Amino acid sequence: MKKIVFSLLLFTVLFNCKNTKEDNGKLNIVTTTTMITDLVSNVGGDKINIQGLMGSGVDPHLYKASEGDVSKLANADMIFYGGLHLEGKLVEVFEKMRHQNIKTIAVSDALDQSRLISSESFTGNYDPHIWFNVDYWIQITQYVAESLSEANPENKAFYEANAKTYLEKLLVLKENLQATIETLPQDKRILVTAHDAFNYFGKAFGFEVVGLQGLSTATEAGVQDVQKLAAFIIDKQVKAIFVESSVPKRTIEALQAAVISKKHDVAIGGTLYSDALGNAGTLEGTYIGMFEYNVNTIVDALK
């Protein structure tokens, strides 16, 4: 009996004799969603170590921490996150971490609250999908460059130069998107998606946006929501509706079935990237590539 206890404890002690920590003088930066990871690595370049918590296709509302995230967070010098409840419970953790020697920065702080879309049901809650307005993303890029420069003044010029290059790219992106959308007649600009992720996009580019689920993907769509939306689609003669990469297909397929059952036709226009970018290394794995892909998909399907 004592032997068993002893050997079990010995085993657990031995198990712990591993050591992992790397430090090469660069800032250790942790980011949450893939959009923020993409932005911060564009500004920080090779002067920072960057680790994203959420991979492509991960829904930030429903993200669950794994063991590897503990070390990432514990070794971080700075953390960039979306805020506005985008990361759920994690936001509270980040707020608590401000007491420690870790700088946690909500990128949404860069924006004036009056420019945010507030939620209808709860005052003080805002739509967190701010990356779908390129102007906001430009402001955030500047904010990220300032924050990095503050934490690491030696590389200030480097961060500012990177931010400038990236801002130019974002301005080109904005023009390109505008040009693509101009080809779509005004009355066809209706975007139906799985959850309310595209409100900023709609406001910026003149789309009417309807989401089947609410702001958070944690809420479920009711039968009534599906029926109402199906009637809306038929009424406005919407040609296509869209799946999102981080939300299961079935809700949108249910909506399609509801429309078809009323003897009308609606296509699934493709998969849009809403809360996460595509796989790293692909074109859709960057913010710019994702945005171009989304707009092309939308315009092609609705034409």
Under the rule (CB under 8 A), what is the footprint of another protein? 1, 4-5, 8-9, 11-12, 15-16, 18-21, 64-71, 73-75, 85, 89-90, 92-93, 96-97, 99-100, 122, 124-125
Minimal distance in Å, beta carbon 79 to another protein? Answer: 10
Alpha-carbon distance of 120 to 114, in angstroms, equals: 15
Q: Provide the minimum distance between the beta carbon of 288 and another protein in the complex, in angstroms, as a whole number.
A: 29
Q: How far apart are CA 264 and CA 44, in angstroms?
A: 50
- The least distance separating another protein from the CB of residue 180, rounded to whole angstroms, comes to 38
Contact 230, 237 (CB under 8 A): no
Question: CA-CA distances (angstroms) from residue 279 to 29, 55, 229, 250, 286?
Answer: 20, 8, 31, 22, 9
- At its nearest, how many Å lie between another protein and the CB of residue 1? 5
Residue (73 or 144) nearer to another protein, CB: 73
- Complex with another protein: residue 56 or 133, whichever CB lies closer: 56
Nearer to another protein, 3 or 263 (CB): 3
In the complex, least distance from residue 47 CB atom to another protein, rounded to whole angstroms: 23
Contact 84, 38 (CB under 8 A): no
Residue 13 or 223 with smaller CB distance to another protein: 13
CA dist 233 to 133, 203, 211, 215, 281, Å? Answer: 25, 20, 12, 20, 36
Query: Which residue, 7 or 227, has its beta carbon nearer to another protein?
Result: 7
SS3 303: coil
Cβ-Cβ contacts under 8 Å for 245 (sequence gap 6 or more): 56, 57, 271, 272, 273, 274, 276, 278
